[in-house]
DNA sequence: TTGTGACTAAAAGTCCGTG
DNA sequence: TCACGGACTTTTAGTCACA
């Protein structure tokens, strides 16, 4: 699996766990609603700064998101 | 400290620990020599994909780089 | 509430060079 | 070996109307 796909899956997982809409996540992170949609569908390769902004709203540490992404990219096949 | 500055410091730290030149790091990661220089000087905001590419060459897990960056951005004030 | 195409502005990333 | 810069191409950031 490639990195942007994994990012999208992890992002969506945390967002849904917290019952936040794409729109509210976008607002909190200073991003656009449609951009969150693009990220979740693996259509964009976010910068590290964007990762940090999103992490803050999701109340999860950036390294934890990256760790989950690594697990999808390098280990798990699910 | 902002994220791109922290990224540059962490990147340079790991690169020097491993005695790799900017040029060899760039080659290994499929990037340009001058771009590594820009990153180390905090002049660019790398994508998450770039983080992963660099991590591979430095033989350090991406989440570990991010953790170090967090420590600089959120904790230390130097 | 979200997916999507189409778009412009901005930034990533390359390639040339110098000191 | 690296900092630094100009000029460049490619991709992301960010926005809109619409389904």
Higher pLDDT, A33 or B75: A33
pLDDT at B78 over 50: no
CB atoms within 10 A of CB B28: 14
Q: Which residues of B touch A49 (CB under 8 A)?
A: 3-4, 45
* Cβ neighbours of residue B48 closer than 8 Å, sequence gap 6 or more: A3, A4, A7, A45, A46, A47, A48, A51, A66, A69
Summarize pLDDT for B6-65 with one digit per residue, the tens: 999 999 999 999 999 999 999 999 999 999 999 999 999 999 999 999 999 999 999 999
pLDDT given for residue B59 in this prediction: 97
Instruction: Say how far apart CA B67 and CA B75 lie, in whole Å.
Output: 11
Best probe of the B interface among A43, A66, A67, by most B CBs < 10 A, is A66
Summarize pLDDT for A25-67 with one digit per residue, the tens: 999 999 999 999 999 999 999 999 999 999 999 999 999 999 9
Average of per-residue pLDDT across A7-27: 96
pLDDT given for residue B62 in this prediction: 97
Q: Which residue is nearest to nucleotide C3 (CA to C1')?
A: A37
Instruction: Say how far apart CA A6 and CA A77 lie, in whole Å.
Output: 11
pLDDT at A78 over 80: no
pLDDT given for residue B75 in this prediction: 76
Instruction: Say how far apart CA B12 and CA B18 lie, in whole Å.
Output: 10
Instruction: Say how far apart CA B54 and CA B51 lie, in whole Å.
Output: 5
Chain B residue whose CA is closest to A73: B52
CB contact under 8 A, A48 and B66: yes
- Contact status, residue B4 vs residue B35, Cβ threshold 8 Å: no
HEC sequence for A3-46? HHHHHHHHHHHHHHHCCCCHHHHHHHHCCCHHHHHHHHCCCCCC
pLDDT given for residue B76 in this prediction: 61
Provide, in whole angstroms, the distance separating residue B46's CA from nucleotide D3's C1': 19
pLDDT given for residue A77 in this prediction: 52
């Amino acid at each position: 699996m490639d990195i942007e796909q994994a990012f999208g899956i992890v992002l969506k997982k945390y967002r849904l766990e917290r019952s936040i809409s794409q729109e509210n996540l976008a607002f909190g992170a200073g991003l656009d609603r449609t951009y969150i949609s693009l990220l979740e569908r693996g259509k964009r390769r976010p910068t590290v700064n964007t990762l940090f902004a999103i992490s803050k709203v999701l109340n999860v540490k950036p390294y934890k998101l990256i760790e989950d992404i690594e697990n999808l990219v390098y280990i798990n096949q699910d």
